[in-house]
């Protein structure tokens, strides 16, 4: 692989009007009429569903009033609900409740993890410490974007590029194309830095920008590039300095001090967290990206509850839809089909007969979870 240097941006980047328009479309926060229609007209509706539980979902750039209308359309017979957004490292309110998904660090097993934090709005009147922690953590995703771009354009980490190329079978043409796209994106960010919304600056921007090249280079070629780029991202995330993050215990203690509640999402992504004995209210036993061990996790939670002292509240069995509303704004050809299929409040395991039997044995149901968790948030 030929060596790249600091002149890569100048020598490879040939930003054209189409690139600038693509960048503007990717980073704007306002929705087009077509995008508004995609939110207001959901493909899936659940006309018989009376209870709606949604404790893990991401509004992204979609305004909450539009999301509310979408939910009302999807669940016309709804009688009882608990709906709390969990934007990454940003507190967002829906009705009287507020939520966030935080990136943090578990020193017990030396790994980055996530936690869902939920609050009643009144609990956040004196939350300056939590807000400061989140402000610092929020910058992680933007800082990683620049690290990602610098690596792809050869400013550092040639060993990462070589390793990613070897692991994915990427040839010189693939690596060069990825570098060119990253170079263009770097220039566009520099040109628009004064007006960029902070939420737009995240490492997904690279994937989205490359996806927009599909009409010009074809799906097969772009797929090859994306496999390589994704592996570069994986290697960068693997080596990211974990000391940047607050420890999980720090977020848990601050949340408890405010009176909030805590859920462990998709534990299949960081199994040791189940042994860390963190003070949490619930554990996700199912998630669209983590569903292989749902039966096992339900049994684990039930066993934990059977051995807990009577004075301690039981751990709730939860299912997370992990819906990302921003995915629904994309053209069909640019969507991640699995992510685009997720819906707020839609968790199939609640309707699965086998899972229902396990939940009955564990003394759990959607209605009970809504009532119990709402009671905890209000107490």
Q: Are 358 and 349 in contact (CB under 8 A)?
A: no
Q: Which domains does the chain have, with CATH numbers?
A: 1-29+142-239 (no CATH), 54-129+243-378 (3.20.20)
Quick check: 6 pLDDT over 50? no
pLDDT attached to residue 2: 44
State the Rg of the chain over Cα.
Answer: 22
pLDDT attached to residue 336: 84
Quick check: 69 pLDDT over 80? yes
Phi, psi angles (nearest 5°) of residue 20: -65, -40
pLDDT attached to residue 3: 44
At residue 239 the predicted structure's pLDDT band, cuts being 50, 70 and 90, is confident
Cα–Cα distance list, 9 to 5, 15, 152, 179, 210 (Å) = 9, 10, 10, 8, 16
Q: What is the mean pLDDT of residues 8-12?
A: 46
pLDDT attached to residue 340: 93
pLDDT attached to residue 81: 98
What pTM value is reported for the model?
0.91
Quick check: 227 pLDDT over 90? yes
Share of the chain above pLDDT 70, in %: 96
pLDDT attached to residue 331: 84
107-162 pLDDT, tens digit each? 999 999 999 999 999 999 999 999 999 999 999 888 889 999 999 998 898 999 99
241-284 pLDDT, tens digit each? 999 999 999 999 999 999 999 999 999 999 999 999 999 999 99
Question: Considering only CA atoms, which of 371, 129, 110 is closest in space to residue 257?
Answer: 129
Q: List b or e across 127-146, with b for residues whose CB sees 16 or more CB atoms inside 10 angstroms.
A: beebeebbeebbebbbebbe
Residue 79 burial (C-beta neighbours within 10 Å; 0-12, 13-18, 19+):
exposed
User: Would you call 176 helix, strand, or coil by DSSP?
Assistant: helix
Q: What is the mean pLDDT of residues 169-181?
A: 95
At residue 79 the predicted structure's pLDDT band, cuts being 50, 70 and 90, is very high
Averaged pLDDT of the chain:
93
317-337 pLDDT, tens digit each? 999 999 999 999 988 877 888
Question: Considering only CA atoms, which of 155, 270, 293, 167 is closest in space to residue 227?
Answer: 167
DSSP state of 330: S
SS (H, E, C) 11-28: HHCCCCHHHHHHHHHHHC
Note the residue count of the chain. Answer: 379
Quick check: 46 pLDDT over 80? yes
Q: Which residues are bridge partners to 66 per DSSP? A: none
């Amino acid at each position: 692989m030929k060596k790249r240097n600091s002149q890569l941006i100048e020598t490879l980047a040939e930003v054209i009007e189409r690139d600038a328009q693509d960048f503007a479309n990717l980073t704007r926060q306002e929705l087009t009429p077509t995008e508004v229609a995609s939110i207001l007209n959901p493909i899936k509706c659940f006309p018989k569903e009376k209870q709606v539980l949604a404790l893990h979902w991401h509004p992204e750039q979609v305004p909450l009033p539009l999301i509310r209308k979408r939910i009302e359309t999807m669940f016309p017979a709804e009688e009882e609900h608990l709906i709390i957004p969990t934007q990454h490292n940003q507190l967002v309110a829906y009705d009287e409740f507020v939520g966030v998904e935080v990136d943090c660090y578990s020193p017990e097993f030396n790994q980055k993890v996530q936690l869902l934090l939920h609050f009643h709005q009144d609990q956040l009147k004196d939350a300056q410490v939590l807000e400061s922690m989140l402000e610092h953590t929020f910058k992680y995703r933007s800082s990683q974007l620049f690290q990602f771009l610098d690596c792809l354009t050869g400013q550092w980490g040639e060993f990462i590029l070589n390793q990613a190329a070897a692991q994915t079978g990427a040839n010189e043409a693939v690596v060069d194309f990825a570098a060119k796209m990253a170079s263009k994106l770097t220039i566009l960010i520099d040109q628009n830095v004064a007006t960029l919304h902070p939420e737009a600056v995240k490492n997904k921007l690279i994937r989205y920008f490359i996806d927009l090249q599909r009409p010009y280079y074809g799906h097969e070629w772009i797929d090859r590039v994306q496999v390589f780029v994704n592996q570069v991202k994986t290697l960068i995330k693997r080596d990211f300095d974990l000391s940047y993050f607050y420890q999980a215990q720090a977020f848990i203690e601050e949340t408890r001090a405010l009176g909030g509640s805590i859920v462990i999402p998709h534990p299949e992504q960081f199994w040791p967290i189940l042994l860390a004995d963190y003070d949490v209210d619930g554990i996700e036993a199912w998630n669209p990206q983590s569903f292989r061990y749902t039966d096992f996790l339900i049994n684990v939670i039930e066993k934990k509850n059977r051995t807990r002292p009577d004075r301690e509240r039981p751990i709730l069995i939860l299912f997370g839809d992990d819906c990302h509303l921003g995915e629904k704004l994309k053209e069909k050809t640019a969507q991640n089909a699995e992510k685009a299929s997720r819906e707020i409040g839609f968790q199939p395991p609640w309707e699965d007969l086998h899972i229902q039997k396990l939940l009955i044995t564990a003394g759990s149901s959607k209605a009970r979870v809504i009532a119990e968790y709402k009671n905890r948030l209000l107490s």
